[in-house]
Chains A and B, each alone.
Chain A
Amino acid sequence: MKDVVICAATAVTALGDSLGESWERLLQGECGIRPVERFDTTGYVSKVAACVPDLKPGRGGSRLAALLERTLDGLPAVPPESLLLVASTKGEIDLLERGRRGLEIDPRRLLAESVLGEIRRRTGVRGSGVNVNAACASATLALGRGAAAIACGDAEAALVVCADLVSEFVFSGFSALKALSPGLCRPFDAGRDGLSLGEGGAALLLMSRDRAEREGRPVLCRLLGWGAAGDAHHITAPARDGCGLILAVKRALQVAGIDAQGVDGISAHGTGTVFNDLMELTAFRTLFGDRKVPLHSVKGALGHTLGAAGGIEAALAIRSLESGLLPPTVGLRHPEPGGAGCVSASVLTFSGGILLSTNSGFGGINGALVLGRKEPR
């Protein structure tokens, strides 16, 4: 297997138009969740979400185009033959909203292939492309597929782009499911009462180490392992024993060639729903035993960015690996008993250089990535 490295990463979140700005504000414990202004929230459980500031509809009338433009803005030149993996659960869903309200739209933009085309147009990537839809684990699975293709020698480079919007479509749905927190979400808190939605995008350029060195690209971190597995349990609720997440993490560790003892920190999915967070803590307990592995969730600050979550969190993990810091879990007051000693409302430090990043989604799908600090050769 070839070594896979991440050579470039951008992220746009409610806390900033760059990875650096989002990272710095996360470390300060800031929260990007604010009252929603782009649609009327009167009939919904929640009134807040982590929207990207000043995100106006772009080309074709969707905010997604504007989000992609910002996300791809800071990306260096990408090899044209790169694989293209996109992770967006609902794409330009705001156009469907406009269409159902009687406004004129181009219906072809409702297809996911239109988002692929938009990204090709902006990046010049010509390699085969696919949008991966695995609900809130979409970006995690896309990163894993890209890494696997490079590791197996199918490709030398893969561009993974993820983006999802805060839309009334999704907001109303989570409200109807009673999954939204009426206030600000509080991942891993004993009193958590639901998630807060967010929007954002990330772009990550994966390469074989050989290709990166040949081109003089910076190595930001290593992508060592990836895994995905299903619960086969319930459509919208996680398996309480975390069986799918455990399988996904075990697979990622196997690919990375390390055991659970080798994990130094965790970027958890941590949505703030009662069942997700409990499932994750149960899975981590099964995987790591009594060892208190530092873990955090960014969703109290950035909201749940759906299919983009895994990509944004992988980009942030690069900064964690560089600094040895895990940002505060914003919203945390009294940790869920299973998370006590692992999760904190303050910045956490972790030693070593291996970070586990996990996500789970509707349909019972789970994804895991093992990322390693860049190392001098």
Chain B
Amino acid sequence: MRIYITGIGWVTPSGIGRGRARDRFSWGSGELPALSRRELFSEPYPRFGRLDDFSRLGLSGIALALSDAGLDAWQEKRPIGIVAETRLGCLATDIAYFDTVVSDGGALASPNLFAYTLSNTFLGEAAIRFGLTGPAFVANCDGGNDLGCLRLGIDSLRYGDCPVVVTGRCDLAPPSAIPIRDASTGAIFLVLAAGGEGVPPESYGELRWDSSGFATVDGAAAGTWEELAAACIAGGG
């Protein structure tokens, strides 16, 4: 099966970007940029401001990738899947939620925060917002491969779970109480499409994955997200 990258979008401390805007991707360091609903969504979206930070980040990454692929507008629900990798997940929300429990024996526990103490909740937000009914899950990989989620997304297509999948990774900065040094901050998502009769017109190139954990885009090797994004943008789209 041939698999093509048809969209790419990200939010990192270096900025907000999309492939077709010819933006340059890097993780960078420091604070994430402020995420404004108006910048990311053409339609009103009152819930956006009520999401926890992890969900807002992940949803923004997915929205940018779908927009880049021309898939943000929809009339009927679509069998598009989502695979999102994370290390910390919603840990910051977990802490914020449990602090509402500890403060008064549970009497003031926040139901709204609790709803976001599952790492996959933002996938549900994305599914609702964009009408996505494909399989969706959050993955915590232990292989140490920064691009591990690509393999999972590719497999979703190869296994016939869905014809299109949004895949990427999403992490907030570690909470101050959790000193983890080697975590990238930000979200980056790709839209991958299974090739049918030919190359999709939105394609950045053909994505391949080899068993040693390297991706190639139209033959150009990419071992990091920076290289992958650069290969996409160099490939056209």
7 other contacts beyond A112-B140, A141-B135, A145-B155, with CB at 8 A cut-off? A134-B136, A154-B155, A168-B106, A175-B106, A175-B109, A177-B115, A234-B128
How far, in whole Å, are A172 and B109 apart by their CA atoms in the complex?
Answer: 7
User: Closest CB-CB distance, A191 to chain B, in whole Å?
Assistant: 24
Which residues 93-150 of B have a CB within 8 angstroms of A?
A: 94-95, 97-99, 101-102, 104-107, 109-111, 114-115, 117-121, 123-125, 127-128, 130-143, 148
Which residues 95-145 of A have a CB within 8 angstroms of B?
A: 96-97, 99-101, 107-108, 110-113, 116-117, 120, 128-135, 138, 141, 145
Chain B residues with Cβ below 8 Å from A128 are 141, 143
Is A173's CB within 8 Å of the partner chain B?
A: yes
Q: Residues on B close to A: CB < 8 A? A: 77, 79, 87-89, 91, 94-95, 97-99, 101-102, 104-107, 109-111, 114-115, 117-121, 123-125, 127-128, 130-143, 148, 152, 155, 158-161, 177-180
Given A110-B91, A231-B127, A364-B128, verify A132-B107 contact (CB < 8 Å): no
Is A113 within 8 A of B87, CB to CB?
Answer: yes
Is A129 within 8 A of B143, CB to CB?
Answer: yes
How far, in whole Å, are A108 and B102 apart by their CA atoms in the complex?
Answer: 22
How far, in whole Å, are A235 and B120 apart by their CA atoms in the complex?
Answer: 10
Could you name 18 residue pairs across A and B whose Cβ atoms are closer than 8 Å?
Answer: A100-B98, A100-B99, A107-B177, A107-B178, A108-B180, A113-B87, A113-B140, A113-B141, A117-B142, A133-B137, A134-B138, A168-B106, A169-B98, A177-B111, A231-B133, A243-B133, A362-B115, A365-B123
User: Closest CB-CB distance, B10 to chain A, in whole Å?
Assistant: 22
Q: Which of A42, A117, A148 is the one whose CB lies under 8 Å from B159?
A: A148
Q: Which of A90, A228, A233 is the one whose CB lies under 8 Å from B128?
A: A233
Chain B residues with Cβ below 8 Å from A134 are 120, 135-138
Chain A residues with Cβ below 8 Å from B107 are 43
Q: Which of A174, A230, A233 is the one whose CB lies under 8 Å from B135?
A: A230
Chain A residues with Cβ below 8 Å from B180 are 107-108, 111
How many residues on chain A are close to B (CB under 8 Å)? 65
Is B94 within 8 A of A230, CB to CB?
Answer: no
Is B135 within 8 A of A229, CB to CB?
Answer: yes
Given A172-B106, A177-B115, verify A364-B134 contact (CB < 8 Å): no
Which residues 39-53 of A have a CB within 8 angstroms of B?
A: 40, 42-44
Chain A residues with Cβ below 8 Å from B102 are 100-101
How far, in whole Å, are A116 and B85 apart by their CA atoms in the complex?
Answer: 15
Q: Which of A107, A149, A236 is the one whose CB lies under 8 Å from B115?
A: A236
How far, in whole Å, are A112 and B121 apart by their CA atoms in the complex?
Answer: 16
Is B138 within 8 A of A133, CB to CB?
Answer: yes
Is A363 within 8 A of B120, CB to CB?
Answer: yes
Is A232 within 8 A of B133, CB to CB?
Answer: yes
Is B179 within 8 A of A97, CB to CB?
Answer: no
Chain B residues with Cβ below 8 Å from A131 are 139-140
User: Closest CB-CB distance, A269 to chain B, in whole Å?
Assistant: 16
Chain A residues with Cβ below 8 Å from B91 are 96, 110-111
User: Closest CB-CB distance, A241 to chain B, in whole Å?
Assistant: 12
Q: Which of B88, B104, B131 is the one whose CB lies under 8 Å from A232?
A: B131
User: Closest CB-CB distance, A183 to chain B, in whole Å?
Assistant: 19
Is A282's CB within 8 Å of the partner chain B?
A: no
How far, in whole Å, are A264 and B132 apart by their CA atoms in the complex?
Answer: 31
Given A100-B95, A228-B161, A364-B128, verify A173-B111 contact (CB < 8 Å): yes
Chain B residues with Cβ below 8 Å from A135 are 118, 120-121
Is A89's CB within 8 Å of the partner chain B?
A: yes
How far, in whole Å, are A40 and B101 apart by their CA atoms in the complex?
Answer: 12
Which one of B97, B106, B123 has the greatest number of beta carbons of chain A within 10 Å? B106
Given A44-B106, A232-B132, verify A130-B139 contact (CB < 8 Å): yes
Is A260's CB within 8 Å of the partner chain B?
A: no
How far, in whole Å, are A234 and B105 apart by their CA atoms in the complex?
Answer: 29
User: Closest CB-CB distance, B37 to chain A, in whole Å?
Assistant: 17
Q: Which of A110, A113, A174, A363 is the one whose CB lies under 8 Å from B123?
A: A363
Q: Which of A116, A176, A229, A255 is the one whose CB lies under 8 Å from B110?
A: A176
Is B124 within 8 A of A362, CB to CB?
Answer: yes
How far, in whole Å, are A251 and B79 apart by their CA atoms in the complex?
Answer: 11
Is B135 within 8 A of A148, CB to CB?
Answer: no
Is B133 within 8 A of A230, CB to CB?
Answer: yes
Is A169 within 8 A of B121, CB to CB?
Answer: no
Is B89 within 8 A of A112, CB to CB?
Answer: yes
Chain B residues with Cβ below 8 Å from A40 are 105
How far, in whole Å, are A232 and B81 apart by their CA atoms in the complex?
Answer: 11
How far, in whole Å, are A93 and B109 apart by their CA atoms in the complex?
Answer: 16
Is B109 within 8 A of A173, CB to CB?
Answer: yes
User: Closest CB-CB distance, B123 to chain A, in whole Å?
Assistant: 6
Chain A residues with Cβ below 8 Å from B135 are 134, 141, 228-230, 365
How far, in whole Å, are A255 and B139 apart by their CA atoms in the complex?
Answer: 23
Is A244's CB within 8 Å of the partner chain B?
A: yes
How far, in whole Å, are A117 and B99 apart by their CA atoms in the complex?
Answer: 28
Q: Which of A107, A111, A151, A247 is the one whose CB lies under 8 Å from B179?
A: A107
Is B121 within 8 A of A363, CB to CB?
Answer: yes
How far, in whole Å, are A177 and B111 apart by their CA atoms in the complex?
Answer: 5
Taken residue by residue from 150 to 162, chain A's Cβ proximity to chain B (1 for < 8 Å, 0 otherwise) reads as: 0110100000000
CB-nearest residue of chain A relative to B111? A176
Is A363 within 8 A of B106, CB to CB?
Answer: no
Chain A residues with Cβ below 8 Å from B105 are 40, 42-43
How far, in whole Å, are A243 and B177 apart by their CA atoms in the complex?
Answer: 41
User: Closest CB-CB distance, A93 to chain B, in whole Å?
Assistant: 7
Chain A residues with Cβ below 8 Å from B158 are 152
